[in-house]
Amino acid sequence: MRPEYALLTRAAQLEFVSLAVLLANLATVHWGPITSAIGPVHGCSYLLVIIAAAMAEHAPRKTLLTAIIPGIGGLLALRLTRRPRTDGRQAADAEQH
User: What's the pTM value of the predicted model, to 2 decimals?
Assistant: 0.80
Q: What is the pLDDT of residue 51?
A: 94
Nearest to 71 by CA among 22, 33, 32, 2: 22
Mean pLDDT along residues 27-43:
97
Residue 5, SS3 per DSSP: helix
DSSP alpha helices (H): ranges in 1-97? Answer: 6-27, 32-55, 61-67, 73-82, 89-96
Whole-angstrom Cα distance, residue 94 to residue 27?
49
Q: What is the pLDDT of residues 43-89, one digit of tens each?
A: 999 999 999 999 988 888 999 999 999 989 999 999 998 877 666 55
30 contact partners, CB below 8 Å, separation of at least 6: none
**Domain ranges (residues) in the chain:** 3-83
